[in-house]
Structure 1
Amino acid sequence: MTSLPRLAVFDVDGTLIDSQHNIVAAMGLAFRAQGLEEMTATAVRRIIGLSLVEAVARLRPDLPSSRHEAIAQSYKDAFFTLRSRPDHTEPLFPGAAEALALLEADNWLLGIATGKSRRGLLSMIERHGLQGRFVTLQTADGNPGKPHPAMVLQAMSEAGVEAENTVMIGDTSFDMQMARAARARAAGVVWGYHPPGDLLEAGAETMIEDFKGLPVALNALLERR
Structure 2
Amino acid sequence: MRHAYDLIVFDWDGTLMDSTAHIVRSIQRACVQLGLPEPSREAASHVIGLGLIDAMRHIHPQLPDATHHAMADAYRHQYVHQEETVELFDGVLAGLAALEDAGYLLAVATGKSRSGLNHALASTGLQSRFVTTRTVDECHSKPHPDMLLQICEQTGMQPARTLMVGDTSHDLLMARHAGTHGAGVSYGAHPLEVLEDCSPQAIFHSYRELQQWLMHSN
CA apart distance, 1:29: 2.8
AA aligned to 1:189 is: V
Work out whether 1:199 is the aligned partner of 2:156: no
User: Residue 115 of structure 1 corresponds to which residue in structure 2?
Assistant: 111
- Higher relative contact order by CA 8 Å / sep ≥ 6: 1 or 2? 2
Secondary structure at the aligned position of 2:170 is classed as: helix
Counterparts in 2 of 1:152-167, with a 5 A limit? Answer: 152-167=148-163
Unmatched 5+ residue regions in structure 1?
A: none
User: Residue 41 of structure 1 corresponds to which residue in structure 2?
Assistant: 41
Kept in 1: contact 2:102–2:215 (CA 8 A)? no
Work out whether 1:144 is the aligned partner of 2:140: yes
User: Residue 7 of structure 1 corresponds to which residue in structure 2?
Assistant: 7
User: Residue 73 of structure 1 corresponds to which residue in structure 2?
Assistant: 73
In the alignment, the residues of structure 1 paired with residue 180 and residue 214 of structure 2 have an alpha-carbon distance, to the nearest angstrom, of 12
In the alignment, the residues of structure 2 paired with residue 209 and residue 64 of structure 1 have an alpha-carbon distance, to the nearest angstrom, of 38
Kept in 2: contact 1:168–1:185 (CA 8 A)? yes
Work out whether 1:134 is the aligned partner of 2:130: yes
How much is the aligned-residue C-alpha RMSD, in angstroms? Answer: 1.9
In the alignment, the residues of structure 2 paired with residue 218 and residue 164 of structure 1 have an alpha-carbon distance, to the nearest angstrom, of 16
Kept in 2: contact 1:148–1:178 (CA 8 A)? yes
Kept in 1: contact 2:168–2:195 (CA 8 A)? yes
Secondary structure at the aligned position of 1:145 is classed as: coil
How many residue pairs get aligned? The number is 218
Identity of aligned residues (%): 39
In the alignment, the residues of structure 2 paired with residue 25 and residue 4 of structure 1 have an alpha-carbon distance, to the nearest angstrom, of 38
Kept in 2: contact 1:16–1:96 (CA 8 A)? yes
1:71-112 deviations in Å (ceiling 9; x for gaps): 112212322323xxxx43111111111221111111101100
User: Residue 170 of structure 1 corresponds to which residue in structure 2?
Assistant: 166
In the alignment, the residues of structure 2 paired with residue 75 and residue 216 of structure 1 have an alpha-carbon distance, to the nearest angstrom, of 35
Q: How high is the TM-score relative to the length of structure 1? A: 0.89
Kept in 2: contact 1:15–1:192 (CA 8 A)? yes
In the alignment, the residues of structure 2 paired with residue 216 and residue 27 of structure 1 have an alpha-carbon distance, to the nearest angstrom, of 34
AA aligned to 2:107 is: G
In the alignment, the residues of structure 1 paired with residue 199 and residue 69 of structure 2 have an alpha-carbon distance, to the nearest angstrom, of 31
In the alignment, the residues of structure 2 paired with residue 219 and residue 177 of structure 1 have an alpha-carbon distance, to the nearest angstrom, of 24
Kept in 1: contact 2:28–2:44 (CA 8 A)? no
Unmatched 5+ residue regions in structure 2?
A: none
